[in-house]
Amino acid sequence: MIRIQEHVDLFPYNTFKIAAKARYFTSVTTVADLRELINHPVYKQHKHLIMGGGSNMLLTGDYDGLVIKNDLRGIETVSENDSTVTLKAGAGEPWHAFVIFCVTNNYGGVENLSLIPGTIGAAPMQNIGAYGVEVKDLIKTVEAVDTSSGEMHVFTNAECEFGYRESVFKRKLKGKYFISSVTLTLTKKNHVLNTSYGAIQQTLDQQQSVPSIKSISDAVIAIRQQKLPDPKVIGNAGSFFKNPTIDQSQYESIKKDYPEMPGYTSENQQVKVPAGWLIEQCGWKGKRIGDVGVHPHQALVLVNYGNGSGENIQSLAQDILASVKKKFAIDLQPEVNII
Ligand SMILES: Cc1cc2nc3c(=O)[nH]c(=O)nc-3n(C[C@H](O)[C@H](O)[C@H](O)COP(=O)(O)OP(=O)(O)OC[C@H]3O[C@@H](n4cnc5c(N)ncnc54)[C@H](O)[C@@H]3O)c2cc1C
């Protein structure tokens, strides 16, 4: 049975800690709830916003519609053999708790994605990734409910059209499906351990740990706790912008003036450039404007020091975009969903 509340403060529901209100608010714990909701007059008459952990969105003002908090829970084993296990997780399960469940059971694959906030259901939305691993490499299928008809659709991995911080759900099917569960295949033995990215190997060496699912997860947690601001302490949504990809020729040309410019060759002679480096070069790192700013240790992370509004953050983001464009002729794209 669903219950729709009115004028609900969204402050506790978003990691930017923006004090915006939802005209209507409800939570769903089952697919049946969701189907009931789709037939409700409030749903039919208003726009709606699906909310998981609110860790990848910027609320730019009050939401004059219905916010649907995803609380679909449960983890079940779909199939397993000697070497792999396939798990289906309810979309409202917290991502990191799922990672810990896997690590505890010696299921390999997600350990590099430890400590990413948010829900299982939002993981395929932007194909979450960290420390050399993307969730697309583990996802088998995504079950989603059509937000108009209530019908269930099972998307294969290919149908999700995953890309760098992208999927079909973030692009052409935006708002059209409510992801209700995600099915992932993990290894039970012969785990493929990825220690080459970032400071993982260095941290393992310092801790004198042998690489394993558990030690990698612990190392990633330690690195992230050191590097990234904790949203419980300071409002943020992780990386605000995506790392842009530019032509090799543009990269070479900028490198003439900035020989230290980092870049990673990707497909089709394109080079991926760290957005944080570009932002830092424009002098933004550590800058504070009123109650919002750019994190002093992570130029890619915009922060709310307390009473910043969504508009304040958006305006800061626009100023950053403009200065990166002016200095480097590169267009940054937000990774965060602007609501
Ligand atoms: C400190 C910090 C570190 C982070 N580090 C990383 C990182 O390393 N890598 C990374 O990829 N991301 C990172 N993020 C971003 C974020 O945690 C992830 O993108 C996460 O998957 C978002 O989950 P969520 O449940 O909070 O999504 P929300 O913010 O609630 O929603 C994000 C978008 O998805 C939609 N959505 C949510 N759930 C569903 C659903 N069930 N069906 C359909 N649409 C849905 C929403 O409408 C919204 O548009 C970080 C964020 C923070 C705060």
Q: What pLDDT does 132 receive? A: 92
Q: How far is the CA of 311 from the CAs of 18, 20, 59, 158, in angstroms?
A: 10, 11, 8, 37
Mean pLDDT of 107-111: 98
Same domain, 181 and 58: no
CB within 8 Å of 140: residues ≥ 6 apart = 86, 156, 157, 183, 184, 185
Band of the pLDDT at 1, cuts 50, 70, 90? confident
CATH number at residue 41: 3.30.43.10
Residue that terminates a domain, selected from 208, 227, 246: 227
**pLDDT attached to residue 209:** 87
Distance 218 CA to ligand 1 centre (A): 22
Which amino acid is present at 336? V
Pocket of ligand 1 (CB under 6 A): 15, 49-57, 70, 91, 116-119, 121-123, 125-126, 128-130, 169, 178-179, 228, 231, 236-238, 337
Domain's final residue, options 227, 256, 280:
227
User: Ligand 1 pocket check: which of 17, 47, 55, 300 to mutate, most ligand atoms within 8 Å of Cβ?
Assistant: 55
Domain count across the chain? 3
Q: Which residue's CA is the closest to the ligand 1 atom numbered 19?
A: 56
Q: Per residue in 216-240, pLDDT tens?
A: 999 999 999 999 999 999 999 999 9
Q: What is the pLDDT of residue 266?
A: 79
> Does the pLDDT of residue 158 top 90, yes or no?
yes
What phi and psi, each to the nearest 5 degrees, are found at residue 327?
-80, -40
Same structural domain, 215 and 93: yes
Tell me the pLDDT tens digit for each residue of 43-97.
999 999 999 999 999 999 999 999 999 999 999 999 999 999 999 999 999 999 9
Same domain, 247 and 197: no
Cα 251 to Cα 265: distance, rounded to the nearest angstrom: 10
CATH number of the domain that residue 270 is part of = 3.90.78.10
Tell me the CA–centroid distance for residue 256 and ligand 1, in Å. Answer: 37
CATH assignment at residue 120:
3.30.465.10
Q: Across residues 103-122, what is the average pLDDT?
A: 98
Categorize the per-residue pLDDT at 259 as very low, low, confident or very high, splitting at 50, 70 and 90: very high
Residue 91 Cα: closest atom of ligand 1: 41
Instruction: Give dist(CA 59, CA 41) in Å, integer.
Output: 24
My answer on whether 11 and 142 are in the same domain is: no
Ligand 1 centroid distance, CA of 55 (Å): 5
Quick one: average pLDDT of 128-145? 97
**121: Cβ–Cβ under 8 A, 6 or more apart, which residues?**
50, 52, 70, 72, 90, 91, 92, 178, 179, 180, 181, 182
CA pseudo-torsion sign 114, 115, 121, 125: negative
- As given in the structure block, the two tokens for residue 37 are 């909701």
Q: Which residues are catalytic?
A: 165, 239, 335
Q: What is the Cα–Cα distance from 327 to 314, expressed in whole angstroms?
A: 20
Which of 41, 70, 99 terminates a domain? The answer is 70
Instruction: List the domain range (segments joined by +) for residue 201.
Output: 75-227
Instruction: Judge whether residue 198 has pLDDT over 80.
Output: no
Asked if 27 and 88 sit in the same domain, the reply is no
Do residues 147 and 285 share a domain? no
| Amino acid identity for residue 288 in this structure | R
| Same domain, yes or no: 222 and 303 | no
Contact 87, 76 (CB under 8 A): yes
Residue identifier of the C-alpha nearest atom 20 of ligand 1: 118
Helix pair angle (213-227, 95-104), 10° resolution: 150
pLDDT of 32: 96
Rounded-to-integer distance, Cα 175 and Cα 49, Å:
8
Q: Which atom of ligand 1 is nearest to the CA of 178?
A: 42
Q: Is the pLDDT of residue 301 over 80?
A: yes
pLDDT tier for residue 267 given thresholds of 50, 70 and 90: confident
Residue 44's CB is within 10 A of a number of other CB atoms, namely 12
Contact 14, 238 (CB under 8 A): no
**Averaged confidence pLDDT in the chain:** 96
Residues 334, 150: Cα–Cα separation, whole Å? 30
Q: Could you tell me the distance, in angstroms and rounded to a whole number, from the CA of residue 191 to the centre of ligand 1? A: 27
Q: What is the DSSP string of 114-143?
A: TT--SBTTTTTTTT-EETTEEGGGTEEEEE
Are residues 196 and 121 both part of a single domain?
yes
Does 66 share its domain with 79? Answer: no
pLDDT of 154 above 90: yes
Please name the helix (run of DSSP H) or strand (run of DSSP E) that holds residue 68, with its range, or none: strand 63-70
Question: CB–CB of 38/78 below 8 Å?
Answer: no
Quick one: pLDDT at residue 71?
A: 97
What's this model's pTM, rounded to 2 decimal places? 0.96
Question: In terms of domains, do 49 and 88 share one?
Answer: no
Look at strands 75-80 and 129-130 and give their pairing. unpaired
Q: Give dist(CA 114, CA 220) in Å, integer.
A: 6
Instruction: Say if residues 304 and 258 touch (Cβ distance below 8 Å).
Output: no
Give the nearest ligand 1 atom to 56 CA. 29
Report the nearest-CA residue for atom 43 of ligand 1: 178
Alpha-carbon distances of 61 from 120, 165, 311, 332, rounded to whole Å:
26, 25, 7, 23
- Confidence band, pLDDT 50/70/90 cuts, at residue 268: confident
Q: Please give the pLDDT value at position 250.
A: 95
Nearest ligand 1 atom to alpha carbon 177: 43
In this structure, is the dihedral angle defined by the CA atoms of residues 2, 73, 87 and 176, taken in order, positive or negative? positive
One domain for residues 165 and 242: no
Q: Which two tokens stand for residue 53?
A: 């952990």
CA distances 170 to 59, 149, 163, 179, 253, Å, are 17, 19, 10, 12, 33
In this predicted structure, the answer to whether residue 27 has a pLDDT above a threshold of 80 is yes
**81 and 204, same domain (yes or no):** yes
How many angstroms from the chain centroid is the CA of residue 130? Answer: 10
